[in-house]
Structure 1
Amino acid sequence: MTWSLGEIEGLARKAARGGGFDWGLAEEAGKAVRWLASLGLPGPEALDALLATYDRRPLGRMRPLDTAAPVWQAAGGMLCPIATGAALCDMAAEATLQAEITLAECAFPLLLLSFVAGAAEDADHALNVTWDGATFAFAADLRGTAPVPLAPAGRAVIRRGAAADLPLPTCQLRYDLDSATAARLGALAQRTYAPDTAASRLSGAGAGLRDND
């Protein structure tokens, strides 16, 4: 079934919130997934896999511990691409972004892309990001390729510089979303409608990536 980009963003935002993100990061997740879908990249599928893989993992253990360090790591070992991307954009906006950052281990690094694009725009210089065979560059335009876009994890490197020899993606206004993926994201979105009672908490409503340690 084809979905409009607005529908994709709304579903992703609510699913992220139902999966345990606070509303601010859920908004960022929705925008990231829409951005990917607009380029024909599997953003909804990546978010679905992220939320399924790390359901009930405290988000506090997946945030970067020290963003001033050249290598970003998380207390729990695996970095969340949404929280990490948001931190990256904050640093770019504050003009404190390093020339090169290594993410020791990032879950579903495809979800980083819109944040790197935003950081390049905020910092006003070209950036590129690589992980396990994937390379994307953000300058006057976006270029890149990911042989395995749904790679579950990777060591990603973000550095200054462009890459004019990479292919240009094709933009689109709608996205073909598999019914099974839509159903799983929809089930997470339903958690946002559940009353916050003892019974709903025991049944799992709002569990997922909890923002605590």
Structure 2
Amino acid sequence: MAAGDDLLMLSLNEVQSTVLKAARGAGLPLGQAEDLARVASYLMGIRGEAAVITRALQEPVTEVQARWQDSHVTLSGSAAMIAPVICDAFRMGYDSVTFAKADHSAYIGAAMAVQGVPLWWEGCTIRRGDSEVLPAKPGPVTVPAQDWDVWMGLAAKTYVPESETSRSTGAGAGLTDND
């Protein structure tokens, strides 16, 4: 990170809820958006990897292409879409998975860690490992303002546009907000 970059101090809950909205705004299906939000909380709590999340949010959502073989699966697609398939492959007893893009490694590793699956890496091929998965640290984390701005911009795509009609039908806080 360059000197002078603005950092925001946020809770892991703020990170997770904002990334969930951002993922929906980016067009991810709800299940993958929820997974991405959990991965974001884990990555921020373990290594402060906001850029990995921002890349996953900005990557075009693509359909998963899978080639299932005897004990190996080969996958291509966007990181947020293939990570759940990798989890499923290991749950189904597959020994190894290969994915197409090396820059998906940090995201996929975190997605497996969230599921409690330790891994052995060989480039873009992973195998189930036998080590312990590191837990994320609790407490506040720092998020670069540039990443936060991307997340908030995508989250804003899920908001109801302001109009007289939306206000008259209950959108927004109104004159008093007593929730």
Normalising by structure 1, what TM-score?
Answer: 0.61
The one-letter amino acid paired with 1:180 is Q
Aligned partner of residue 67 in structure 2, secondary structure? coil
Q: What residue is the counterpart of 2:121 in the other structure?
A: 130
User: Aligned match of 1:105 in 101, 105, 129?
Assistant: 101
Distance 2:27 2:48 in 1: 24
In the alignment, is residue 16 of structure 1 matched against residue 17 of structure 2?
no
Q: Are the equivalent residues in 2 in contact too, given 1:39–1:172 (CA < 8 A)?
A: no
The superposition leaves residues 61-117 of structure 1 with CA deviations (integer Å, 9 ceiling, x where unpaired) of: xx142344635132xxxx322222111222334xx2322222232543211123322
1:35 has 2:37 as partner: no
CA contact (8 A) 2:61 2:78 kept: no
Between the two proteins, what is the percent identity of the paired residues? 20
**Aligned equivalent of 1:205:** none
**Counterpart amino acid of residue 128 in structure 2:** R
What residue ranges of structure 1 are gaps of 5+ in the alignment? 122-126, 132-154, 196-213
SS at match of 2:66: coil
* C-alpha contact 2:73 2:94 (8 A) present in aligned 1: no
Structure with bigger gyration radius: 2
CA distance in 1: counterparts of 2:97 and 2:137, whole angstroms? 28
Describe how 1:26-175 pairs up with structure 2 within 5 A. Answer: 26-42=33-49, 44-52=50-58, 54=59, 57-60=60-63, 63-68=64-69, 70-74=72-76, 79-93=77-91, 96-118=92-114, 120-121=116-117, 127-130=118-121, 155-162=123-130, 171-175=137-141
After superposition, the Cα gap between the structure-2 partners of 1:73 and 1:190, relative to the gap in structure 1 and judged at 3 Å, is same
1:71, 1:104 within 8 Å by CA — same for their partners in 2?
no
CA distance in 1 between counterparts of 2:119 and 2:85 reads 17
Query: In the aligned structure 1, how far is the partner of 2:90 from the partner of 2:135?
Result: 24
Q: Summarize the Cα distance change of 1:183–1:33 in structure 2 as closer, same or farther, 3 Å threshold.
A: same
Alpha-carbon displacement from aligned partner over 1:14-44 (angstroms, at most 9, x marks no partner): 11111110111100100011011111230x3
Normalised by the size of structure 2, how large is the TM-score?
0.71
Post-superposition Cα deviations, 1:158-178, rounded to whole Å, max 9, x if no partner, equal: 1133358xxx78724221011
> What's the Cα RMSD here?
2.7
Equivalent residue pairs, number = 153
Task: Give unmatched runs, 5+ long, in structure 2.
Answer: 1-7, 162-179
- Alignment partner for residue 182 of structure 1, among 148, 171, 175? 148
